[in-house]
A and B are shown apart, each in its own frame.
Chain A
Amino acid sequence: MSVFDYLGRQGDRLFGLAIEHFLIVLVSVSISTVVGVALGILTYRTNGPRRAALATTGIFLTIPSFALFGLLIGPLGLGTTPAVVALVMYGLLPIVRNTIVGLRSVDSAVVESAQGMGMGRYRRLFRIELPLAWPVIITGIRVSAVIIVGIAAIAAVVNGPGLGKDIFRALARVGTPTAVPQAISAVLGIIAIAILIDLFFVLVLRLTTSRGIRA
C-alpha cells in the first residue's frame, strides 16, 4: 500500500490529528513566549540573573524528550497537560536568549537620548527597546516553534494529542502493510505544519517590523 493510498483513505482522520498537533504547538509556543520574553526583560540588565536564566532554560533543552515526558507523568499524569508543560520548557531557551540578545543590542545612544528626553523606564522599554529588539525576539519565537513542532510528536508517549499518536501506532505494528505508510504520512504532516509555521513567522516579521529598521 502506498502513502498516497493511505492518505486517500485516512485523510480526514489525519487532518484531525494535524489540527490537534498544530493546536498543542500554538498553545505551547504562546506560553513559552509570554514566560520567555518576561524572563528576558527581567534579567537582561543584570549579569547574575541573566546567566541563571540562560543556564536553566539551556538545561531544559538538553534533557532527552522521552525522559522529560516520562518524568512529568508522576506529578502531572497523562494527557495534554504534561505534554504542554514539557513543550513549553523546550521552547524557552531560544526565546529567552533572543530577547536578551535583542534588548542588549539596542544602540546605547538611542536609549540614552530617550532617557535624556524624559522617557521613564517603562515607556523606554515598550516604545523604544522592545520594538527595536523585536526582529530578534520574533526570530527566537520562530526557532522555538519549529523545535516544538518536532518534539510534540513525542508527546504521544504521555498520551498527548497530535500526529505523534500515528507514529507510535505504526511503530507498534511494524511488519503490517499499513505501518510504513502510516508513519510516513504522520511525518509528512509534521513537516507540513513546520513549514506553514515558518512561513507564518516570515509574514509576521515583515508586517510587524518598522520600515525604519527593516533590512
Chain B
Amino acid sequence: MPDVTTPSGGNGAEPMIRLQDLSKVFPGQAKPAVDSLDMTIAAGEIVVLVGPSGCGKTTTMRLINRLIEPTSGRIILEGEDVTKVNPDRLRRRIGYVIQQVGLFPHHTIADNIATVPRMLGWDDKRIRARVDELLAMVGLEPATYRSRYPKHLSGGQRQRAGVARALSADPSVMLMDEPFGAIDPITRDRLQNEFLRLQETIRKTIIFVTHDIDEAIKMGDRIAILREGSKIAQYDTPERILTAPADDFVADFIGAGASLKRLGLTRVRDVELVQWPTAPRGASRPEVLEALRGSDKGAVLILDEQRRPVRWVSAREIQREDLPLSEIGLPSDAVVQPQATLADALNEMLASRFGCAAVVDGSGAYLGSVEFGTVSAIIQELRRDAREQSRAAADELHAAQAARS
C-alpha cells in the first residue's frame, strides 16, 4: 500500500493540508470525479499531482480552495477545518496560479499583484513595498515592469507576474495548475529552475498539477500518481517512484527510460564540479597561456568583470592577435545554475564544443564546470542499477516458477 498518512519531515507536527475522505460527484455523472480521497501534505513541500487526463487531478486541486465544492469529506488547512468557512476568505489565504495565468488585462502589473493585499486592507505604503519586493523576487525589474500592462509582457514574463501575484499576501499554501504548460520548452526549463530556486527561500507548501511525468520528477518533493477517480496509485518521493513503482499502472505511466529520468533528479550542485582554467577579460596573452599551461584542459574560460563566463579560448586561438580576447574563441553558451538537473546540464553541454557546461550562481558568476564524463559516469551507474533490479526480478520469477513445478 502506498504511504499516504505519514509523510517524512513532518516530525509528527500538524501537516499543512489534510484531505479526509474527500469526494466530488458532478451532477448528472454516475462516477465520482474524486472518490473518497485521503491525503496528507507536509508543510514546505512541493507535492505534484500527476496522472492521465481525466483522472481528476485538477478537480482535486480545485477542491482545496473550494472553487469546486466537495460533495463529502473534509479539508483541513493548518489544523483548521475549512470545508465550511467563507470561500472568499479561504482563497485569500491560498495562492492560485493557472496555466493561462489570467492576469487582469486592464490593470497594471503592480495593480495585479496588489489585488489580494488591497482586499485584505493593507495600506498603500506596505502594498507598494510588497509589489516591488515580489517583482524583484521573480526577476522582473520593478522600475521597468511596475506600470506596464499584461499585454506588454511575454508569455514567460506573464507567468512570473502570475507567480508574484499568487505570493502577494504571503500565503502558506500555493495551488499551481500546469503553470508552465503553455510556455515554450526553453523558457519553461528556465522558469522551472527559477521557481525551484525561489522555493528554496520561500518554502511554501505547493500543490502542483501536471500531466508531464518529467516535470513532476523535476519539481516534486513528493509525487502523487493518480488514476481515474483521483485514486492514489502511489504517493512517494520521485526517487522511490522511479526505483520502486508500486504497480504496473505507475510503471506504465513513468514509461520507458526510468533510469535516464533519474538524471532529472540529480542536481548540478550534487556532483563535483571541475575547475577549468580561467582568465579575466582584460588579461594579456601570456597570462592566458600561462593559465592554460597550468592545467590539463584544452581551453581557458574568459570571465568578465563580474566573473561571468564570456568565451572559451583554446591554445590555438590565443595566437590570434588581430582581435581582443573577448572576441576570439567560442561564446560560452552552455551555462547552468546549481539547482538545474543533470538532464538540463546534459542538454546544454551536447551543444557545446568542449563537452562541458559552465556552472554559475544566481548573479551569473562562474563556480566551476560540469563535464560530459561526470554525467556519463552517472548514467552508467543508473543503467547498472536498473539492470541489476531487472535481473533480480527475473531471478525471483524463475525461483517462483521452479518452486511451483
A113, A120, A128 — most chain B CB neighbours (10 Å)? A113
Interface contact B96-A117, CB-CB below 8 Å: yes
Interface contact A113-B101, CB-CB below 8 Å: yes
A116: interface (CB < 8 Å): yes
Interface majority SS on A: helix, strand, loop or mixed? helix
Interface contact A109-B102, CB-CB below 8 Å: yes
Q: Which of chain A's residues have a CB closer than 8 A to the CB of B103?
A: 110, 113
Question: Which B residues between 338 and 385 are near A, CB-CB below 8 angstroms?
Answer: none
A119: interface (CB < 8 Å): yes
A132: interface (CB < 8 Å): yes
Known: A118-B92, A212-B150, A212-B151. A113 touches B106 (CB 8 A): no
Q: Which of B83-91, B218-226, B281-289, B309-317 contacts A (4 or more CB under 8 A)?
A: B83-91
B253: interface (CB < 8 Å): no
Interface contact A212-B149, CB-CB below 8 Å: yes
A107: interface (CB < 8 Å): yes
Interface majority SS on B: helix, strand, loop or mixed? mixed
Q: How far is the CA of A197 from the CA of B357 in the complex (A)?
A: 66
Interface contact A118-B107, CB-CB below 8 Å: no
Q: Which of chain B's residues have a CB closer than 8 A to the CB of A119?
A: 88, 115, 119
Of A112, A123, A213, which one neighbours B102 at CB under 8 angstroms? A112
Interface contact B89-A118, CB-CB below 8 Å: yes
Interface contact A110-B102, CB-CB below 8 Å: yes
Q: How many A-B residue pairs have CB under 8 A?
A: 74
Count of interface residues, chain B, beta-carbon cutoff 8 Å? 29
With both chains docked as a complex, state the minimum distance between the C-beta of A130 and any C-beta of chain B, in angstroms. Answer: 10
With both chains docked as a complex, state the minimum distance between the C-beta of B147 and any C-beta of chain A, in angstroms. Answer: 10
Q: Which of chain A's residues have a CB closer than 8 A to the CB of B162?
A: 113
Q: Which of chain A's residues have a CB closer than 8 A to the CB of B104?
A: 110, 114, 128, 132, 212
Interface contact B108-A212, CB-CB below 8 Å: yes
A9: interface (CB < 8 Å): no
Count of interface residues, chain A, beta-carbon cutoff 8 Å? 21
Interface contact A107-B88, CB-CB below 8 Å: no
B65, B92, B115, B162 — most chain A CB neighbours (10 Å)? B115
Q: How far is the CA of A87 from the CA of B175 in the complex (A)?
A: 51
B100: interface (CB < 8 Å): yes
Q: How far is the CA of A18 from the CA of B175 in the complex (A)?
A: 60
Q: How far is the CA of A57 from the CA of B90 in the complex (A)?
A: 41
Q: Which of chain A's residues have a CB closer than 8 A to the CB of B151?
A: 212-213
A56: interface (CB < 8 Å): no
A131: interface (CB < 8 Å): yes
With both chains docked as a complex, state the minimum distance between the C-beta of A138 and any C-beta of chain B, in angstroms. Answer: 14
Interface contact A118-B91, CB-CB below 8 Å: yes
B303: interface (CB < 8 Å): no
Q: How far is the CA of A120 from the CA of B90 in the complex (A)?
A: 12
B116: interface (CB < 8 Å): yes
B89, B96, B99, B102 — most chain A CB neighbours (10 Å)? B102
Interface contact A131-B88, CB-CB below 8 Å: no
A 184-196 to B, binary, CB cutoff 8 A, 1 in contact else 0: 0000000000000
With both chains docked as a complex, state the minimum distance between the C-beta of A206 and any C-beta of chain B, in angstroms. Answer: 14
Q: How far is the CA of A109 from the CA of B178 in the complex (A)?
A: 13
Interface contact A212-B96, CB-CB below 8 Å: no
A113, A118, A119, A123 — most chain B CB neighbours (10 Å)? A118
A210: interface (CB < 8 Å): yes
14 A–B pairs (Cβ distance < 8 Å), ordered by A: A107-B100, A110-B102, A110-B104, A112-B102, A113-B98, A115-B91, A117-B91, A117-B96, A117-B116, A123-B119, A128-B104, A210-B107, A210-B149, A212-B151
Q: 5 closest pairs, A vs B, by CB?
A: A113-B102, A212-B149, A118-B91, A116-B96, A210-B106
